[in-house]
A and B are shown apart, each in its own frame.
Chain A
Amino acid sequence: MDALDRAIINQLQGGFPLCERPYAAVAEQLGSSEDEVLARVERLLRDRVLTRFGPMFHAERLGGGLSLVAMKIPPGDFERVAEIVNAMPEVAHNYAREHALNMWFVLATETPEGQREALDRIERETGFPVYAMPKIREYFVELKLHV
């Protein structure tokens, strides 16, 4: 990663313009060219330095349901349960964490009512209880990693 890659990552975390030629607008701010920025963004995505690029939707304002869910899975069942959970399109991210509650994922459903149904399905298919932790209040959300 060179200085231009880092500048692009920092710039795009803050926002991407909504105009006819946004890559050209970013290039102008960074003293680069449209083609160069396009190629860099493509490569950063391909190399998975960037995991997402585009509009970040607010699930609840789209009318959907969203919650953080934790599970306590014995080591011998972990891979099997991860496979079941990951196969669900409603599961956006899933992390293994060091704790008795060792699996943590985000469950996004099209409607708030869909949460209960999806949680029931996970409990039924995995045989383990879920700890659903939908947010009560949001104080801050923004990834701001400087590179």
Chain B
Amino acid sequence: MSSSAFPLDPLDRLIVLATQDGLPRVARPYHAVAEQVGAAPAEVMARLQRMLENGVIRRIGAVPNHYALGYKANGMTVWDVADERVDTLGERVGQLESVSHCYQRPRYLPDWPYNLFAMVHGHDRAEVEQKARQIAELLGDACRGHEILYSTRILKKTGLRIA
């Protein structure tokens, strides 16, 4: 996936700033944003549509608190996967229904040999472990080791902010 930046003009930027904490809960939320940034509602919706199309906005939607939904076990599974196979296998791990995020990241040898990260949510640790076994099977002999890092506390959770 490309990570090239798309230039934002001043109006785009105002729209980002006005919505990064969330959309208003009013019948016409995009009109409310338009009023806040001093633009026409149609213009604001067109800008948001363009940002969705070029990937500046991944999606407009909601993020649930997995603890509140009963997903009390949150396991960051990390895997030491052969470099020449990590791209192919990473794509396949990402397709698993149980995996919400999947990335390749740098190792810090010798402390940290893991280069593939897959986030797995379960109602309890047994469910996370069962899902991790599916990942282990998929990786097969390309994997030299793994760990599951459970979260024990949310210390902070806010959206990404640009300013």
Contacts and interface: CB of A to CB of B under 8 A. Distances in A.
Nearest to A10: B64
B105 A133 contact: yes
A54 to B, nearest CB: 4
Contacts of A49: 64-65, 68-69
Interface in B53-111: 54-66, 68-71, 74, 76, 86-87, 90-91, 93-95, 97, 99-106, 108, 111
A141 B105 CA distance: 14
Main secondary structure of the interface of B (DSSP, over half): mixed
A120 B158 CA distance: 22
9 contacts: A12-B62, A49-B69, A51-B157, A54-B20, A58-B55, A58-B57, A59-B160, A62-B162, A97-B151
Contacts of A63: 5-8
A135 B104 CA distance: 6
Nearest to A136: B104
B151 A56 contact: no
Interface residues of A, number: 78
B106 A60 contact: no
A57 B51 CA distance: 9
Given A135-B104, A139-B94, A16 B58 contact: no
A138 B103 contact: yes
A95 B19 contact: no
Contacts of B45: 18-19
A41 to B, nearest CB: 6
Interface residues on chain B, size class: 35 or more
B64 A13 contact: yes
Interface in A18-37: 18-24, 34
Interface of B: 1, 3-8, 16, 19-23, 25-31, 41, 45, 48-49, 51-52, 54-66, 68-71, 74, 76, 86-87, 90-91, 93-95, 97, 99-106, 108, 111-112, 115, 117, 121, 147, 149-163
A93 B76 CA distance: 14
B73 to A, nearest CB: 11
Chain A CB within 10 Å, residue with most, of B51, B154, B162: B162
A24 B28 CA distance: 9
A24 B54 CA distance: 27
Nearest to B20: A57
A143 B16 CA distance: 22
Chain B CB within 10 Å, residue with most, of A23, A139, A141: A139
